[in-house]
Amino acid sequence: MRPRLAYRPGQTALHRAHPLVKAAALVFGSVFVFVAPSPWAVAGTVAVVVLAFPLLGLPLREVRGLRLFVLTAALLGGLQLWFVDNGAALFVLGPWTCTDEGVAAGGTIAGRFLAVIGLSVLFVWTTDPNRLAYALMQWGLPYRLGFALVTALRLAATFEGEAQQVYRARLVRGARLDVRSPLRWPRLARGFALPLLVGALRRVDGLAISMEGRCFGKYPTRSFLTPVRTGAGDVALLLLLALALVGTVFWRLGWPG
């Protein structure tokens, strides 16, 4: 089974975009859904993010924890719907009055949560960790920190794959881990902690020996086999983000008004 937190190679425009440009788009989109004064803007952002998955050939159903994210968004929206009683009443159900402002607040909070999660998944799935680290190092990040970044990103997917192997191995041996029970998570944590810890220590030890054998850290700078270059599409996307930022600021300030 392929790890769900790993980069997924592709030839789409988003895959080929500069990693730092995509990082800027991620930051802008995450901030936009929190500063946009209209819930329709948040809903539009969520719609764009959801449509981006099939357009890029990425399976939305394979997002890890998708049901949990949807349920959490529904819970956050439901709390706003229950406690916000300002605005015009839409209908009354016993002691609870559903108002238009409650619906708007609930939809906005749920949409913000889903938008940030979706944008983050798109960034991880379409951004090669090596290119991201190389781009940061070309912009001045010390290559030791860049190596630490790319190692952390890659090991996250590796540990996920190992956790899946441990889970399936325990199921084959008769462990009842797929039973819906309040004790399921403590049992999973107890059974996963030791194998994953031993695997992590083994990988770190091997990585350290490999780095020492290659004289890692001997030189103050390093070269790149495949430098990350900025193309015309990246410049256009940056200009689009700048215009969107200016427009958002004016919209937030109510100009022109």
**pLDDT category of residue 175 using cuts at 50, 70 and 90:** low
The answer to whether the peptide bond before residue 182 is cis (omega within 30 degrees of 0) is no
pLDDT per position as a tens digit, 27-70: 999 999 998 878 899 999 999 999 999 999 888 888 878 898 99
- 184 alpha-carbon distance from chain centroid: 26
Give the model's pLDDT for residue 62: 84
Which string of DSSP letters, residue by residue, matches 229-250?
Answer: ---HHHHHHHHHHHHHHHHHHH
State the Cα–Cα distance between residues 240 and 233, nearest whole angstrom: 10
Give the model's pLDDT for residue 110: 94
